[in-house]
Amino acid sequence: MHDTIRVVIIGGVACGAKTAARLARICPQADITILERGDDLSYANCGFPFLLGGEVINKDSLTHTAFEVERNSDYFESYALTKALTGHEAMSIDRASKNVTARIKSTGETVIFPYDKLVISTGASPIIPDIPGIKLKNVYTLWTLKDALAINSALASSNINRAVVVGAGLVGMETAEALKNRGLEVTIIDALPLPLSTIIGEEFGVFIEKELEINGVKFYGEEKLIEIQGSERATGVVTDKREIEADIVIVSVGVRPNLALAESAELSIGERAILTDKCMRTSDPDIYAGGDSVECLNSISGKHVWQPMGSTAARHGRVIADNIAGLKSEFTGVAGTSIVRVFNYSAGKTGLTLKTAEEAGFHPIEMLTANPDIPGFMPRSSFLMIKLLADKETRRLLGAQIIGTGRIDKRLDVIATAIKGNLTIDSLSDVDLAYSPPFATALDPVTHAANSMKNKMDGLIKSLPPSELKSKELRGDSFTILDVRTSDEIKCFGKLKYNGINIPLGELNARAGEIPKDKEIIIVCRSAIRAWIAYTIMLRHGFSNMAALEGGMVSWGYGLDDYQVSP
């Protein structure tokens, strides 16, 4: 028989549990011990907001396997051949003698666990702002199973009616939606001007802000939490701009990696978290690390980033297990993919943003397009907005931001996969995607987006996104809008508040003479299809100082002319 390999895993939620499960399957000589400081193992923390919102009917489904066995120590014993010790907090690592000292929380006793290979999957912890009132009752973070169950119990009591969610990131938005669905009055505050700013930027953020409003959730951007009021339990929050009454406060301002153990063991730490190689090995070859406590390579920029995500943690766990078992396996990096549902909208990104692309030395160019997710003749056809990012010189695809009420996840995944394959925009436009009307348009929105980017890169059309038109307004630039929609459409859907002229596209060839030649013309239609045809017709009439509004009115989130209230 093989010699036993003693593997100690610190942390048994995501990466740690995955490491144990795979290792047990592929490495019979592994003798696996998990040290988990909490009471719970391997639970689905990404499901917590959906538990609170009532979508997860059976809370056991977050802690049990698909075959309805609780993932507790017994489960790990029988199914993963792993000794999983809860309530065991690892206190220190002795790298020289290769052991971990853990404290048993119930007894205070310390125990020493010798290892041949050690895995650090200590995860992250929510950031708790140091403000008055933060320790009041009914002030929560939503991170552990305990948090989720505590909030769920609190919500079941009848006197919880008003919630404040602090932080409009991924978890904050999911939590806000959940609490609203649960029947609460919900207010979100965030230090940045718009929700999900770091994911989708301001141009798309305005749509999410509007979606919150439509669904009765108040959003206060550029607002700082100063204090939580109350004597025993929270009764409200004070920001730098107002007071808001609240029966419950959820603080969701981000998380921090748990690095104390790695730091005291003097493992190499990067800018944000533990450094590893592609095999997830730390600076000590017998110590692996994964999950929220490590930095990853961004596979596009080649820079180390910190991407605390359940999916990343699971991928790490697999690579760690493979390497301990002696299989060749590498974690090739993240692409910065994330997605969130906000009521009827979905929003996400993958790859770099304009800013991170510039920082990484690319020459990025962006193109915004709006297209229906399935053909307009089908029921539930719905517009998506895609902002593609590419490198001007190599034409390599660098990233995308996508929002809409339609199926954005498919398009994000296609782009994430295209990034993995180092596709250029040209190749992206030529992928043989699955087409049938219930699933996509004949040319998928991703194909359209790539084609539009090609047109822009090739200089076939000048265009500008809504944010740039907005900037033109703010700078006081002189321009004239040419709106080529029909007057019925304008009546029905409203128009921009800038000076302009309306010539329906069908009449443009005949009426081009009406258009002033001394000003820049911004051509506008519903989704930019007609704007492009108009652009061509205008070219033939000798115009050159012009640009089409990318994504058309569909993508314009900055408000309409006042006269226009409703159809």
Burial, 134: exposed, middle or buried (Cβ in 10 Å; 0-12, 13-18, 19+)? Answer: middle
Question: Does residue 487 belong to the site contacting its own copies (CB under 8 A)?
Answer: no
Q: Which is nearer to its own copies, 468 or 489 (CB)?
A: 489
Question: How many degrees, rounded to 5, is the angle at CA 334 between CA 328 and CA 337?
Answer: 140
Q: List the interface residues with its own copies, window 435-454 (CB under 8 A).
A: 435-440, 442-444, 447, 451
- Does the footprint of its own copies cover residue 413 (CB under 8 A)? yes
Task: Return the range that interacts with its own copies (CB under 8 A); candidates 83-91, 221-229, 254-262, 403-411.
Answer: 403-411
DSSP SS3 for 370: strand
3 state SS for 213-277: HHCCCEEECCCCEEEEEECCEEEEEEECCCEEECCEEEECCCEEECCHHHHHCCCCECCCCECCC
Smallest distance from the beta carbon of 134 to its own copies, in angstroms?
Answer: 28
Which one, 109 or 432, has the nearer CB to its own copies? 432
- CA pseudo-torsion sign 484, 485, 491, 497: negative
Considering the complex, what minimum distance in angstroms separates the CB of residue 168 from its own copies? Answer: 15
Q: By CB under 8 A, is residue 57 in contact with its own copies?
A: yes
Least Cα distance to 335 among 254, 269, 389 occurs for 389
Collapsed DSSP state (helix, strand, coil) of residue 515 = coil
- Which residues between 156 and 175 bind its own copies (CB under 8 A)? 170, 174
Q: Which class for 524: exposed (0-12), middle (13-18), buried (19 or more C-beta within 10 A)?
A: buried
Residue with tokens 């990067």: 270
d(CA 76, CA 175): 31
The torsion angle over the Cα atoms of residues 247, 340, 299 and 367, rounded to 10 degrees, is: -120
Instruction: Please identify, using beta-carbon distances, which residue of 210 and 420 lies nearer to its own copies.
Output: 420
Beta strand pairing status for 185-189 and 162-166? Answer: parallel
Write the DSSP symbol of residue 563: T
Q: Which is nearer to its own copies, 92 or 427 (CB)?
A: 427
Which of the residues 1 through 20 are near its own copies (CB under 8 A)? 14
- From residue 199 to residue 218, the character string flagging contacts with its own copies as x (rule: CB under 8 A) and all else as - is --------------------
Q: Is 456 in the site for its own copies (CB under 8 A)?
A: no
Token digits of residue 192? 């940045």
Q: Which range in 186-194, 216-224, 314-322, 558-566 contacts its own copies by CB under 8 A?
A: 314-322
Closer to its own copies by Cβ: residue 78 or 394: 78
∠ CA 177-272-84, rounded to 5°: 75
C-alpha 447 chain-centroid distance = 23
Query: What is the x/- site pattern for its own copies, positions 349-378, by CB under 8 A?
Result: -x---------------------x--xxxx
By rule CB under 8 A, what count of residues binds its own copies?
A: 108
Q: Which of 192, 297, 339, 457 binds its own copies (CB under 8 A)?
A: 339
Closest separation between CB of residue 222 and its own copies, Å? Answer: 26
Binds its own copies by CB under 8 A, chosen from 41, 139, 414, 553:
414
- Residue 71 or 103: which CB sits closer to its own copies? 71
Binding test (CB under 8 A) with its own copies, winner from 354, 431, 464, 512:
431
Q: Which of residues 79-108 bind its own copies (CB under 8 A)?
A: 79-81
Among 46, 192, 238, 354, binds its own copies (CB under 8 A): 46
Residues 274-313 binding its own copies (CB under 8 A) are 299, 309-313
180 Cβ neighbours under 8 A, 6+ residues apart: 186, 215, 216, 217
Among 140, 204, 306, 532, binds its own copies (CB under 8 A): 532
Which string of x and - marks every residue 120-139 that binds its own copies (by CB under 8 A)? Answer: --------------------
492 binds its own copies (CB under 8 A): no
- Maximum Cα interatomic distance, the chain, rounded to a whole number of Å: 89
Residue type, 21: A
Written as one string, the DSSP assignment of 73-113 is HHHHHHHS-EEEETTEEEEEEETTTTEEEEEETTT--EEEE
Q: How far is the CB of 458 from its own copies (least distance, A)?
A: 7
- Could you confirm whether 525 is annotated as catalytic? no
Q: Quote the least distance from Cβ 54 to its own copies, whole Å.
A: 10
User: Which residues are tagged catalytic?
Assistant: 46
